[in-house]
Amino acid sequence: MGRKVSFKLEGGVLESEIVKVDRTKLYGTSKRIVYDTNKGECGLSDLYKGSIILPRGSIGQVLIDDSGNSVSRSELIGFNHQGEKVEKVPSIFSIENNCKKVDIDDFLSSSIKSIYQLVINEDQIDTWRKYFTNDEVYLFEFNFREDYEGDDAFLISNEEGFFISVGKTNEFEFLELSNISVEDTDDNIEIEEDLDFSMF
């Protein structure tokens, strides 16, 4: 049984497991297999410094300081663009996620990078539907693991179930004819006469 996420919706608290929806589950997968001249299956390798062949898994990523010493992620401290220390955003599994009702346009103007489906027990379906009678959209901060920056997450529903769409909200500035200005950079622009082909 997987971990459950707690959602605080307009005074009520509901829980559900979540499962990531990806293309492989929707459309299946394909695999390309390469064989050598002896019909043996080939494996991927990394080419190091142009001459050294390293099998997959031979290279790992580590964090190092200015002196070249390895640094654990638990020792890292986050700072914002103003140089101020920031606290970590907790994981969605460790807190009650406060969901705020937002307009559908906020969801439609966002950039979505991943989707999760809620796995809800049959006896809880009707309770969940009470919060989505008018196709409501709820916004909360999403962080699968504790980190310094969370994503925007939209809790939505359709006839197939309940979903979390994770991404970033975009703030578009819409222009109207009344506030579009065209600057004239040259007051001495000469308008040439219409081209007359009889000149050639």
150 assigned to some structural domain: yes
How confident is the model at residue 195, as a pLDDT?
A: 54
pLDDT at 175 over 60: yes
Look at the chain and report how many structural domains it folds into: 1
pLDDT of 188 higher than 60: no
Q: Which pLDDT value is given to residue 190?
A: 57
**pLDDT surpasses 90 at 130:** yes
User: What percent of the chain has pLDDT above 70?
Assistant: 85
Confidence band for 182, pLDDT divided at 50, 70 and 90: low
Residue 140 belongs to domain spanning: 4-27+88-169
Write b or e for each residue in 16-45: b if 16 or more Cβ atoms lie within 10 A of its Cβ, otherwise e: bebeeeeeeeeeeeeeeeeeeeeeeeeeee
CA 63 – CA 111 distance, rounded (Å):
30
Work out the mean pLDDT of the chain and round it to a whole number. 85
Tell me whether residue 132 is in a domain.
Answer: yes
Distance of CA 151 to the CA centre of its chain: 7
